[in-house]
Amino acid sequence: MNFNKNKNDEMAVYHRMIEGDKNAFQFFFEVYHLDIYYFINMYVNNESISEELVQDIFIDFWEKRRKIKIQTSVKSYLLQMAKNRSLNFLRHEKVKLNTHLNIANTTVMTYEMPSSTLDSEELRDLIEKAVQKLPSKCRQIFRLAREEEYSYKQIADQLGISSKTVENQMGIALRKLRDYLRPYYNDIFLYISFFIYFF
């Protein structure tokens, strides 16, 4: 199935999925499942859990297709689902941890605001510095995927490489970014709308 990053084309495919076209659903899975997986894994930092959550998201996406209202794009909707599932998972894990530790009068571990958080402009600069530190080819692929919103296949076609190479380079980029940004996770977590845009 061809798709040229045109919103109208995407919505046409989406409406086919609403009518029960499994090929249309498969198209969205193939185009976006890796992005959703890497996004979730930035939250939960667990590959098997991330894969389970991705599967749950796409199952819901199919089963609830006639009730879903897409406001912007399918990718944005799936990322929002991923954010919600990740936060729910983390909240559930915190409750389990508190129960296990038998912390008196505590049902959910709360997040304490750092004494000095970064503002949005500082976060943009920080993430841009992290991107600049990526190897040249890795950085190019990352920017095409995240800033231009190209699919892995489109990047592969443009650069004359395989989709598997694109996938591997994106994996390297996200691991390096995660390591670089690890000390700032709390700030990035708070600034979630910007975080969604980049990751």
Domains contained in the chain, CATH given: 1-110 (1.10.1740.10), 116-199 (1.10.10.10)
pLDDT at 42 over 80: yes
pLDDT at 173 over 90: no
Report the pLDDT averaged over residues 118-129.
70
What pLDDT is stored for residue 58 in this prediction?
Answer: 93
Report the pLDDT averaged over residues 164-168.
86
The rounded mean pLDDT for the chain is 77
* Percent over 90 (pLDDT), the chain: 25
- Round to whole Å and give the CA distance between 17 and 121: 39
- Round to whole Å and give the CA distance between 41 and 185: 13
What pLDDT is stored for residue 22 in this prediction?
Answer: 92
Report the pLDDT averaged over residues 11-16.
92
Alpha carbons within 13 angstroms on the beta-carbon side of residue 188 total 21
What pLDDT is stored for residue 78 in this prediction?
Answer: 93
DSSP structural state of residue 147: T
- Round to whole Å and give the CA distance between 152 and 163: 6
pLDDT at 63 over 70: yes
Band (197; pLDDT cuts 50, 70, 90): very low
Report the pLDDT averaged over residues 141-151.
82
What pLDDT is stored for residue 6 in this prediction?
Answer: 54
Burial 174-196 (b: 16+ CB within 10 A, else e): bebbbebbeebeebbebbeeebe
Band (127; pLDDT cuts 50, 70, 90): confident
What pLDDT is stored for residue 185 in this prediction?
Answer: 57
pLDDT at 107 over 70: no
- Round to whole Å and give the CA distance between 159 and 152: 11
Band (45; pLDDT cuts 50, 70, 90): confident
